Amino acid sequence: MAQPHLPMQATLDELGTPLSATTFVVVDLETTGSRPDRGAGITEIGAVKVCGGEVLAEFETLVDPGEPVPPFITLLTGISQAMVDSAPPVAAVLPDFLSFVGPDPTIVLVAHNAPFDIGFLKSACAAHDVDWPGYPVLDTLPLARRLVSRNEITNHKLATLAGFFGAADQPTHRALADARATAGVLHGLFERLGPYGVQTWEELRSFRSAPTPAQRGKRHLAEGLPQKPGVYVFEDAAGAALYVGKSTNLRKRVQSYFTASETRSRVREMVGLAERVTPIVCGTALEAEVRELRLITERSPTYNRRSRNAERLPWVELTRETFPRLSVVRRTDGDAHAYLGPFSSVREAELAREAVHQTFRIRQCTQRIKASRPVRACALAGMGRCGAPCEGAEDVEEYSAHTAAAAHAMSADVSPVVEALTAHIADLAGQLRYEEAAVHRDRLAAFVKGATRAQRLQAIATVAHLVAARPDGPDWELCVVRHGRLAGTARMPPGSDPHSFLKALVDTAETVAPGRGPAPRASAAETECVLRWLEGPLVRLLELEHDWASPLNGAQKYLGLTDWDRAAPFTQR
């Protein structure tokens, strides 16, 4: 009889910084009011530095708030005006406090109702030109609400929690005493985190709710996974792909799915169905990203939302027929004069198409035109926006002048479209017709975005062979790109013979035949992934078999025209 799998406890080094090795600085303030933006000031700061359950150091000082201490504050805290008159101002106290906390940005500040205390400290730093170090912050109030139910305590005030956990120090509305009490509550809360699988600061920072029993019961799926970069595939009992992801450390990433740090409801549901995790080790991060895209396309995993339908993103194509027209399509086969896209939505594609229609007299009807069977022209002909080839007003040669100009604007020189629409936008804005101007603004932005993507894709798709390298630590990452497709990639360690290594990589790289269109041999998503890598810092081109260049008056020149906020009303610039 097979032994059942037991939940695997990941080593703490794999998951992150253990809570027992994290330094926490528990802070508490006394103030003259509830809000610094209403003139309230700090009267006292207390802090306790703890690590591994041990107190490392304490900090305490009165502070001159720069304003009178209200009588009710004196009654509540016992801090009188006479006590703060001889205290240092907050400008003198802040450097000492920040020095006590320490320069390490991984130190965690802790407070009960942290927005109050941290808000006062940040406001004081801003008022006195002191840089706030940006420490991570842990608020014990919401954490207590998640871990201690109202069936156990009447409320989640500091005094109630300190009594419930039996803290050695009880709060007294004095800064150091309250910081000590908060430290006691913090340790009590930590004891409750164990059953939830939260044992590192990284898990605690993302803790929202307890992992499900299914999550805890599936930890064995991460056993034996390599601690290397690559792609992982969650599969069900039948071998169907549920989820595909990538990581620089496969074991660490997969283990995170079985802890409280994973809060996505769909992913938790997916973990409950998973029966195995298949790892695919990759030599480079680029290979992992490309493999993830290819696997999502190939296996259509149920729980991958992003990138699952990347192959069906819309394009605008100028068709190849006797009288070409602009059509929104879901795939490119290269059988077109020119393309725009891909676009994030059909609406974006339609806006870009309208921009081209507004500039060139391209027909907008979808009927097949035959010279032997003319039909009556639509209203666009009377408006001068179409040459009416349908009724024989333009022959094939005359009409082809419009399509040639449109194709050139889509694939090379976008300036005719940009100039036509910007002039029209300026004219409408001058007439205070801002809503109409906004429509043309959105058309222009969609056109420029679509033309930019298509031209970038087309440029790399024409390159038959390209080899590039960039440093990654002591190694070098090398990649071979052919017609926009990643054909090979590897890491070259120090001491390797670069010429032999490069020759071996090129000789074993995938053979990729040329094709037509902006993405002939790879998905647009894959080619754009490769382009991001090639355009990164420190990349060096080693081999190049073709000119790789963007058009002189291409769409990238006008990318600034796409930065508008469509939710905002149009205003003349």
Q: Which residues are catalytic?
A: 173
Q: Torsions phi, psi of 412, nearest 5?
A: -140, -70
CB 23 within 8 Å of CB 56: yes
**In Å, what is the CA distance from 110 to each residue of 81, 121, 161?**
28, 13, 15
Q: What is the dihedral of CA 304, 306, 310, 316, to 10 degrees?
A: 150
Task: Take residue 564 and report the two structure tokens written for it.
Answer: 């508008």
Q: What is the 3-state secondary structure (H, E, C) of 391-433?
A: HCCCCHHHHHHHHHHHHHHHHCCCHHHHHHHHHHHHHHHHCCC
Spatial CA neighbour of 543 closest among 473, 470, 466, 481 = 466
CB 451 within 8 Å of CB 414: yes
Q: If residue 485 lies in a helix (H) or strand (E), which one and from where to where?
A: strand 485-492
- Rg of the Cα trace of the chain? 32
Q: Strands 42-51 and 23-31: what pairing?
A: antiparallel
Burial of 446-460, coded b for 16+ CB within 10 Å and e otherwise, reads bbbbbbbbbbbbbbb
Spatial CA neighbour of 528 closest among 456, 452, 448 = 456
Q: Strands 336-340 and 137-139: what pairing?
A: unpaired
CB 447 within 8 Å of CB 410: no
CB 307 within 8 Å of CB 290: no
Amino acid at 550: S
Q: What is the dihedral of CA 520, 524, 526, 528, to 10 degrees?
A: 120
- Token pair 């100028």 in the structure block, residue: 318
Q: What is the dihedral of CA 393, 395, 397, 403, to 10 degrees?
A: 60
CB proximity list for 261: less than 8 A, separation 6 or greater: 198, 202, 203, 205, 206, 207
DSSP label of 230: E
DSSP label of 200: B
Task: Take residue 484 and report the two structure tokens written for it.
Answer: 């926009």
User: Residue 298: helix, strand or coil by DSSP?
Assistant: helix
CA angle 132, 136, 138 (to 5 degrees): 125
Helices (H), 24-108: 71-77, 81-85, 90-101
